[in-house]
Structure 1
């Protein structure tokens, strides 16, 4: 399975971003609007640069327009999707590839919540999609998953119901294991669990879970 990297304009530690980018084997790199600035700092030439560019550094944008005009796709500022969603839609055109999004967390809370909701679109399309920054990796799933301990900080994992209650939730390998539990969509149940084994198993019978892995960087 290949990997696609989307770089958006939210705050992220540049050192972490450089490290994460260098460790990937990316089949496609997409810069969404202000994310082009991080690409420039990391000396990356994206395969696709898109957005309305209302928040981009115009000098940096001009450089890429001059040197890579065929990679620029400009959208009007009045549109129904955020630049991050437009980038995700492009990634969906490439089947069977994991999608990793940097710069989608932190910053404006409305943008962050919208970015988290984009994970539901990935679930609906049966795609694996991660939102990543130096402190956490988020993903959604509607089927059982296994969490590995080796990349976590303090072994912390939060598991939240998204959209509707999650029924039949069974956790194995966690400090707070459950069996056939209904996780309500409202409330804080599921926050700050942690692994006590090398891996943690999450299974359930219905619903969608948002998994937040605390990273160690």
Structure 2
């Protein structure tokens, strides 16, 4: 099943969000707390609302009264992490999370880190906003038909051996550790750009400037 999660970070372009939802054609939509407000602004109702409901109006609570998984305000997880776990446990094979990259760096970083939960279950999962597409990988991958795209790569484990082919700044069996920014802001130059690595997980970011 294709899941789409809408969290509570800022949405700069609601036309972008609506287009993404329509293009993705998810089987199940989860609004994560304030994410229900984002969906309401583009005329879409989620299949489930998850959260402590501290950020949404009484009208929205009433709209979802039969479709709410209410969480405690004080808990050992974020609302988005709980929503991701719900998707993982309920037959997700692909997950996209919107409104998850915002001005609160702590929440953004937390959302990046929970990508590992999906990866552990062999589920493809991305964080997406107007400027970024973020994904965690456990094995080598290829970008196709993306000439000119700005990409960055980060080791999420110590000493990942990485090779980049088809990029403006190639690497050949470079020992990339998780504190090394050498692979930031590269450019795809070939129709087929390869990211080959071993020894751990790699985070990819496809980025656009405003």
Give the structure 1 partner of residue 45 of structure 2.
Answer: 45
Give the structure 2 partner of residue 8 of structure 1.
Answer: 7
Give the structure 2 partner of residue 134 of structure 1.
Answer: 130
Q: How do 1:17-166 and structure 2 match up within 5 A?
A: 17-65=17-65, 69=66, 71-95=67-91, 97-150=93-146, 154-166=148-160
Give the structure 1 partner of residue 185 of structure 2.
Answer: 192
Q: 1:39 to 1:149 in 2, by over 3 A?
A: same
TM-score using structure 1 length? 0.90
Unaligned segments of structure 2, at least 5 residues: none
Q: 1:96 to 1:111 in 2, by over 3 A?
A: closer
Aligned-residue offset at 1:126: 1.7
Question: Structure 1: how far apart are the matches of 2:152 and 2:165?
Answer: 14
How many equivalent pairs are there?
209
Say if 2:152 and 2:185, in contact at 8 Å, map to a contact too: yes
Unaligned segments of structure 1, at least 5 residues: none
- The partner residue of 1:213 within 190, 206, 210 is 206
Say if 1:34 and 1:57, in contact at 8 Å, map to a contact too: no
TM-score using structure 2 length? 0.93
Q: 1:216 to 1:17 in 2, by over 3 A?
A: farther
Aligned-pair Cα RMSD in Å: 1.7
Q: 1:216 to 1:110 in 2, by over 3 A?
A: closer
Give the structure 2 partner of residue 178 of structure 1.
Answer: 171
Question: Structure 1: how far apart are the matches of 2:21 and 2:208?
Answer: 16
**Cα deviation per residue 1:5-64 (whole Å; 9 max; x = unaligned)?**
001111122121111111112111111101000111111121111111111233322233
What secondary structure, in the 3-state scheme, does the structure 1 residue paired with 2:184 have?
coil
Q: 1:98 to 1:55 in 2, by over 3 A?
A: same
